[in-house]
Structure 1
Amino acid sequence: MPFHRSSTIARPRPTLRAGAAALVLALALASCANVEANTSGGADTRYIQGDGSETVFAPDERMDAPEVSGETLDGDQVSLDDYRGDVLVLNIWASWCVPCRTEIPVLKEVYAEHQDAGLEFLGVNIKDDRTAARAFVRNLEIPYPSIYDQPGEVPMAFRDTVPPRAVPSTIVIDHEGRIAARVIGETTYTQLSDLVDPVLAERNGEADPT
């Protein structure tokens, strides 16, 4: 919300406060860093600035994804176990996050191109208002479901494996329910395609997973 100057003579302290508030707002819009997740247990769970860096795990190095379940924005129950046997792209997002918006066309394109090969997508909407999140999904015509996770419990569930500590973050889970790759920050079409293609090949028996 823009700040309106009073009709009275401005005093130094209110002006300073308004300037500081405007700076904070500008920084918040410039990046999606420093978003507080669930801080139970006193752990440092602050989100960091995502730079699109990726981590890839060979099949014999992969950890099992944690048990994750929740209610979607449409009110349905869903869990990661529902996707066992398929390759799953788990995308952490929020409607207020600018990079989340700009990467949606990439996610949709990769999903459309690989869905028939056994690729599924599941979003996780965190730290958000449900109405704003639903409008985001509707306006951008996102074709896959998203868990509504206002407290940020799903990212916390990954804290002992590959915590997605930026918004957006993307995790690729193989058909056996193991974590195959992670991207911290906004992903690209080439990057995401290069991550899911070999995992899909494993699932479909088209490559030696070793």
Structure 2
Amino acid sequence: MRCVLFGAVFCGVSFLLNPALADPPTPPASSPPRDQPAWVAEIEAAVKVQKGRERKMYEEYAARGGKAKAPAEQDAVDKWAADAGEELKTTDRAAARALMPLLREHAADPQVYMGLAFATMHGGSDDREEAGALMGRHHLSNPIVLSWAQFGRGGGCDDFREPIIRGLLAERARTPKERALLQFALAVHLKEKAEVARMSDPSIARRYGRDFISKVRKRDAAKLEVEALGILDQLVAKQVPGELHRGVSIVERAKEEAYEVRHLAVGKKAPEVVGEDLDGRAMKLSDYRGKVAVLTFWHSRCGPCHVFARQELKLVARFAGRPFAAVGANVDEDRDAAKAVVEGLKLPWRSFWCGPKGNAGEVPRAWNVSGWPTVYVIDHAGVIRAKAVRGPELDGLLDELVKKAEADAPR
């Protein structure tokens, strides 16, 4: 359970590197093989060191988490993970920067792909952007590039994906399914960039870095959104065949993403939720107007939901007496299972019960809930200000929003 959270803390090997490096590279010998240039061995060694550092941190996190029992001990483990993640990020960026001269020199060589992939995911903003441009210029024929471009979730936090996807779409030798998958990936990517451009600094600075944020904010968020919607609507109108994943059609996902752009994007008014809580009492989301609300969709068997609830407990205590509220939306089909968790964790806030259909119920579908916890931050005026934000970023954002709610409160 805790390793799931650790994956959110450490942004190390991503879906881009996983296909390319499914098998760790063979450690280089003291002298490179006759058919392998020295620069290839140097890149492989750097990537191997990075993967080793990441693996060691995962193992240590699992060991520390297994020993932690009391909430204070668990908090200490989470703080260690956050600090270790920052340290890993710093060393990875330094390693990517050190590789850039080699990557530039051998940019067209197929063997350089591993190094370019490493730099695009672990370098600083400028290095990611340059490595991505080199990949797009020389390696569009690599099937791994096509694979991650099609199936990635868009990746609003990167500097390199958009030109690569556009480059792949510009090639005529794309099958209809490849083209549809690439168009979907581009639309989601543009949607995510538009949201980053509209989000407050405290909610994204640690995740994306100020250098990348400054670049994204030079883009016109409205135009990004319009292009994303145009692509999604076109996919739906054409009823393109094929599945995004097994059992999930491209058309259905395009509908969901278009709905999210129109109704659930940062800056949109939050949809009303009318229902009953876990005790059967009527409640509405608009009852919390005037307060900053953290709306969390959760399930009783979701480990990361329990971890996030611990942070919410601290937030409720820290903002006591101020315009702030935690609001749950439980997707258990069995209401009693949810009530048992609330009692066990001593959660003082109310949760909507989404009904016997669980995550397939009307409310989760209206909020595009596909995993747990799904978190929305809603300001005192009922406007969505952030999504999927937790940890220190959530703390900083709430400080900003609660102060604004207090300043706008009638005297």
Among 118, 124, 132, which residue is 2:337 paired with? 132
How far apart are the structure 2 equivalents of 1:144 and 1:134? 12
Bigger RCO (CA 8 Å, 6+ sep)? 1
TM-score by length of structure 2 reads 0.34
How far apart are the structure 1 equivalents of 2:354 and 2:2? 21
Q: Matches of residues 75-154 of structure 1 in structure 2 within 5 Å?
A: 75-150=280-355, 151=357, 152=359, 153-154=362-363
Residues 84, 176 of structure 1: 8 Å contact kept = yes
Given the alignment of the two structures, is residue 156 of structure 1 paired with residue 372 of structure 2, yes or no? no
Residues 111, 121 of structure 1: 8 Å contact kept = yes
Match of residue 102 from structure 2? none
Task: Give the secondary structure class of the aligned counterpart of 1:91.
Answer: strand
Deviations 1:25-75 (A, max 9, x none): xxx9986xxxxxxxxxxxxxxxxx9xxx9966458x610001111110011
Residues 95, 128 of structure 1: 8 Å contact kept = no
How far apart are the structure 2 equivalents of 1:149 and 1:29? 26
Residues 2, 304 of structure 2: 8 Å contact kept = no
Match of residue 168 from structure 1? 373
Deviations 1:144-202 (A, max 9, x none): 000111333223223xxxx4432001111111111011116xx32x1221221111121
**Shift in Å, 1:101:** 1.3
Match of residue 194 from structure 1? 396
Q: Which amino acid aligns with 1:169?
A: T
| RMSD of aligned alpha carbons | 3.0
Deviations 1:85-121 (A, max 9, x none): 1111101100011111122111110111113221011
Residues 92, 168 of structure 1: 8 Å contact kept = yes
Q: Which amino acid aligns with 1:182?
A: K
Q: Which amino acid aligns with 2:401?
A: V
Residues 87, 172 of structure 1: 8 Å contact kept = yes
Residues 298, 330 of structure 2: 8 Å contact kept = yes
Change (3 A) 1:154 1:195: farther
How far apart are the structure 2 equivalents of 1:80 and 1:137? 19
**Shift in Å, 1:138:** 0.2
How far apart are the structure 2 equivalents of 1:96 and 1:30? 15
Structure richer in strand, relative to its length: 1
Larger Rg over CA atoms = 2
TM-score by length of structure 1 reads 0.64
How far apart are the structure 1 equivalents of 2:298 and 2:267? 24
Q: Which amino acid aligns with 2:321?
A: D
Residues 164, 170 of structure 1: 8 Å contact kept = no
Deviations 1:123-149 (A, max 9, x none): 000043111111000000001000111
How far apart are the structure 1 equivalents of 2:347 and 2:327? 10
- The percent identity for this pair of structures is 34
How far apart are the structure 2 equivalents of 1:87 and 1:201? 10
Structure richer in helix, relative to its length: 2
Residues 90, 173 of structure 1: 8 Å contact kept = yes
Aligned residues: 153
How far apart are the structure 2 equivalents of 1:177 and 1:88? 9
- Structure 1: runs of 5 or more not aligned: 1-27, 32-48
Residues 91, 123 of structure 1: 8 Å contact kept = yes
